[in-house]
Amino acid sequence: MSILRKRLFLLLEGWGQASLAGRIIDGILISLILVNIAALTLSSIHSWALKYQTLWVAIEIFSVIVFTAEYLARIWVCVDNPENIDLPSWKARFKCIFKPIMIVDLLAILPLYFFLFGFVGLADMRYLRIFRVLRIMKLVRYSPAMQIMGTVLHAEKRAIFSALMIGLVVLFLASSVIYAVEGHIQPDAFGSIPSSMWWAMATLTTVGYGDVTPITLTGKIVGGFVMLMGIGVFGLWAGIMASGFSEELRRRGFQVQWQMIAQNPIFASLSAKEVLDVSREVKPVTLQSNYLILRKNVKADRVFFVVSGHVEAELPKGTEILKNGDYFGELGILHGGLTSTTFVTLDEVQLLEMGRRSFEELLARHPLVKEKILEKAHNRRHWFDEEISEI
């Protein structure tokens, strides 16, 4: 049973990376979520709701069955999550149930069960159907962009709360001032501070519906100041989110770059701090197939480390295929400054690019790395017909 559970965990929580079956399951669930979104949208058209009622009911029942099975399966397999390895099974499952995404999964299927078990009638069911909208949130599991949004909101929660408090203070001030200025003239629109808040909110957000407007000169001046304040307040929100997105993307990019470096055998001897130093000297590069990276007999000013894909080296005696863990471009720097070989990508390739000066500093600072590179350069003499002398 535990083996079956582990396999199911890889299928459900492997984000499509475990196997072809995992990618198929992800595709089915994503497709079903999109079908639900389309069905919810189209069934809101009154004529379509009546004409295709049987179809909407069938989609709803089938979806709830599938999503219920998925929900229960995720609770069952969560004990195999590495983050729960030290927890008892009951505690791991209890923790899983109260994850935000699992709460969304539960709310997305509850309405139908409330109706089937008689907790609500048809009239109340119309209001509960709004929870079906939450099914779009299930896409968070498969969307890196939505995951980044959640991470940014969590990371910037203090700044967002501060901006919210500033916005509420400005909203209250704007409502109070416009009430004092316009309340006695337009009691229906500005007869109290709460009723004035509608105008203040529309003005601060620069929406400007125009259903409620000041008519006195003083009121218009106040409105102008509120508009300018609104630009600042909501500009603050935009700045916080933009900064958070930028920082999260930079952090994720750094993590990927760190892994690329750490997994390269050349850098296996480096400490975490030294890997960090190297990461500052390299630039990730992604190239398409049949891309000419280096041409023979031109100035050697870069070294490339292959992360994924295949690169072909065109040699006097034939060709050599370089793959993950290999590197090239170092011979030209070590032997006089000209590239010794032409290198072309065979498919999409990910590389780490390092400039000549950084490469020379790398050799100077890290003797073990230098030893490995010189050893491989020595072994690469067989690429050439005595064109490169022994190191």
pLDDT digits (tens, 9 = 90+) for 239-295: 888 888 887 777 766 666 777 777 677 777 777 777 777 777 888 888 888 899 988
- Predicted local distance difference test score (pLDDT) of residue 176: 95
- Predicted local distance difference test score (pLDDT) of residue 127: 61
Reported as a single tens digit per residue, the pLDDT across 112-138 is: 888 777 776 655 566 666 777 778 878
Reported as a single tens digit per residue, the pLDDT across 5-22 is: 888 887 887 644 456 787
- If you average pLDDT over every residue of the chain, what do you get? 82
- Predicted local distance difference test score (pLDDT) of residue 122: 57
3-state secondary structure (DSSP) of residue 107: helix
Cβ neighbours of 187 (radius 10 Å): 11
- Predicted local distance difference test score (pLDDT) of residue 211: 87
In terms of average pLDDT, the best of 176-180, 297-301, 323-327, 379-383 is 176-180
Helices (H) and strands (E) in the chain, counts: 16, 8
- Predicted local distance difference test score (pLDDT) of residue 379: 73
Reported as a single tens digit per residue, the pLDDT across 196-211 is: 999 999 999 888 888 8
Q: Would you say residue 384 has pLDDT above 60? A: no
- Calculate the CA 85 to chain-centre distance: 26
CA distance 246 to 231: 22
Question: Please, which pLDDT band fits residue 67 given cuts at 50, 70 and 90?
Answer: very high
Phi first, then psi: give them for residue 91, nearest 5 degrees.
-70, -40
